[in-house]
Structure 1
Amino acid sequence: MRAYVCVVEVRLHLNDSHDLKGKRKVLHSLKAQLRQRFGASVAEVDGHDTWQRTTLVCALVGGGDVGHRADELERFVEARCPDGCAFQRDLLSLADIRG
């Protein structure tokens, strides 16, 4: 079996968030759902001090189904953040990582 890592950068616009506390509440819930539903490792990597924009990075590890799981993750995020989101994805095999 081949092993893959898929890294998905998620840029979000949270139009309904009016302060940092509201943003943290939305992100805490979203990150927990991504971890539980997709087994993703999730981190906020940008936009810490802005209350309507943020960037998350999600990592998925597995076999050949990783790309399909990333598609599902993106659809899940789009359904919960209709104000705007953009994705960028990198898929690496274990051989790519080892060099």
Structure 2
Amino acid sequence: MWIGWIEFDLLLGDVHSLKEKRAIVRPLLADLSRRAEVSAAEVGAHDLHRRTQLGVSVVGAESAHVRDVLDRAERLLGDEHPEITMLSAHRGLLSSDD
């Protein structure tokens, strides 16, 4: 079994309140979960209204499949959401044998 995760540090567009931030982050998380078939959550920068950190994880039988799914999630955020700027993305991959 392989477990993969990626943490995104994102700069949101023209956001002036935490309520506006939620209106952007919730659809992003739903889009990631639905289209990339991953588990996704806001994992940091909760008190900043123009920044967020999103965590994405996936479990699979093969490491190549896990990497492909994480690549899809990164492309989805980077290419299809012009309202955000990806500042960084940090990945991890772990085998159950480790």
TM range (shorter): 0.7 to 0.9
* Worse overlay, 23-32 or 83-92: 83-92
TM-score by length of 1: 0.86
The aligned counterpart of 1:18 is 16
- Structure 2 matches for 1:1-99, cutoff 5 A? 3-64=1-62, 65-79=65-79, 80-81=81-82, 83-85=84-86, 86-96=88-98
* Equivalent residue letter for 1:91: L
Identity percentage of aligned residues: 35
Q: Please give the alpha-carbon distance, in whole angstroms, between the structure 1 residues aligned to 2:18 and 2:6.
A: 24
SS in 2 for 1:48: coil
TM-score by length of 2: 0.87
How far does residue 82 in structure 1 lie from its aligned partner after superposition? 5.6
- What are structure 1's unaligned runs of at least 5 residues? none
Q: Please give the alpha-carbon distance, in whole angstroms, between the structure 2 residues aligned to 1:47 and 1:81.
A: 20
* Equivalent residue letter for 2:38: A
Instruction: Write the deviation string for residues 75-97 of structure 1: whole angstroms up to 9, x where unpaired.
Output: 1011215642110000111112x
Select the structure that is richer in strand.
2
- What are structure 2's unaligned runs of at least 5 residues? none
* Worse overlay, 10-19 or 23-32: 10-19
How far does residue 54 in structure 1 lie from its aligned partner after superposition? 0.9
* Equivalent residue letter for 2:92: D
Number of aligned residue pairs: 94
